[in-house]
Amino acid sequence: MDLKKEIAALTPELIELRRDFHRHPEIGKQEFRTAQIIEDYLNNLGLDVHRCLETGIIGVLKGGRPGKTLMLRSDIDALPVEEMTGLPFASENPGLMHACGHDGHMSVMLIVAKILTAHRDEIPGTIVFLFQPNEEDAGAEDMIQAGALDNPKPDVILGMHLWSYLPSGSIGIIPGPIMASSYYFKLTITGQGGHGGAPHACINPIDCGVHVWQAFQAYHTLENNSLHPTTITVGKFQGGQYNIVIPDTCVLEGSVRCLHNDDEQVRNRLAEMIDGVCKTYRCTYELEFKCGNTLLDNDPQIAEMIRETGVEVLGADKVISKDVGVMIGEDFAEFTRRVPGAFYFFGVADEAKGTHYEHHNNRFNIDEDVLPSVVEMQVSLAKKYLGF
């Protein structure tokens, strides 16, 4: 297989696919046009294609020889962001944008499927292409419940994210925790409202809320194991409406993220601290935690395979294996809880090209020039794992 040559021949199609997906972003669970394009494309290749949920697509490529089953995953959803890039192929759907790079993921995966299908006879084993809806709202679990991992059951699953936190053309890969678990909390504190001039006759829940916020800071300095990355963010703090009225309630909402396995312990300790503060202030409270994503914990052997492949395909200087982990969540974790797997980042940041903006920013863009290398990396991983 002269992979570089094959990819070069398909690069115009790769870019065209990416720009078409970019022009037509669709929000999670409503990726109807996107799913149709993927389904038709895989059907045209002659794969065994089926839907999983309304907009999830699974394409199965059976190789000419027996072997293991490898699953490659791409997410397909966009975000509720108004695009401000000014690109000639900017979003045509008002208020929606591919601001995370999933347009790139899909186009890469379709071209990977095309290349591997052309080599079907040489492939020992099966390659499953999984196109997952609704990643931004943790849709992986729904897809798994709908049978995404059952037919056929993969031996290994690989995931990749184009990444504007890394320089263009490099990859980031580490064994163990790479993306954080995230739990969202809502704390409603109830006191007793009344006159601003008689605080002693009232119970001001805002005073209590501020103290809870301070307890979160104390958690970091007093309680947290510094070797276990943990972030506690309050993103919403609401209480009261008038300067002379003490309100009945105040609300704090935020997230607790852990890049380690002791996340339950963290939540339990925070709940104890909240309980103690609320008792001190004679307030009652309701605390809810909702799981956003679980910890994405890379299988060490598979992470090593990705690192080695990165060195072979891109060169050792392009493989970053330090300070790669992030406190952002990724629902790919739900797959790796069931199947051995690993996730890596492919850098797309190039300031000169304006591809250095944060994910989910309205100016986010990917460096298209790296997409052929991403294809090469993905095909090479399939070759390495299955052995052809």
76 or 246: CB nearest Zn ion: 76
63 or 104: CB nearest Zn ion: 104
Q: How far is the CB of 147 from Zn ion (least distance, A)?
A: 24
Q: How far is the CB of 387 from Zn ion (least distance, A)?
A: 30
Q: How far is the CB of 285 from Zn ion (least distance, A)?
A: 32
99 or 111: CB nearest Zn ion: 99
Q: How far is the CB of 182 from Zn ion (least distance, A)?
A: 12
135 or 350: CB nearest Zn ion: 135
Nearest residue to Zn ion by CB is: 100
Residue with tokens 């690069």: 11
179 or 277: CB nearest Zn ion: 179
Q: How far is the CB of 328 from Zn ion (least distance, A)?
A: 8
116 or 179: CB nearest Zn ion: 179
Positive/negative CA dihedral, 236, 241, 244, 248: negative
Stretch in the footprint of Zn ion (CB under 5 A) among 32-40, 92-100, 165-173, 190-198: 92-100
According to DSSP, the residues that pair with 246 across neighbouring strands are: 194
Q: Which of 167, 181, 173 is nearest to 322 (CA)?
A: 173
Stretch in the footprint of Zn ion (CB under 5 A) among 9-17, 100-108, 180-188, 231-239: 100-108
106 or 202: CB nearest Zn ion: 106
Site string for Zn ion, 44-83 (x = CB under 5 A): ----------------------------------------
Stretch in the footprint of Zn ion (CB under 5 A) among 96-104, 211-219, 286-294, 308-316: 96-104
Q: How far is the CB of 179 from Zn ion (least distance, A)?
A: 10
39 or 103: CB nearest Zn ion: 103
Radius of gyration of the chain (CA): 24
- The amino acid that residue 324 corresponds to is V
Question: Of 10, 35, 100, 246, which one interacts with Zn ion (CB under 5 A)?
Answer: 100
Q: How far apart are CA 328 and CA 324, in angstroms?
A: 11
Q: How far is the CB of 360 from Zn ion (least distance, A)?
A: 6
Number of shown-chain residues binding Zn ion (CB under 5 A): 1
207 or 330: CB nearest Zn ion: 330
Residues interacting with Zn ion, by CB under 5 A?
100
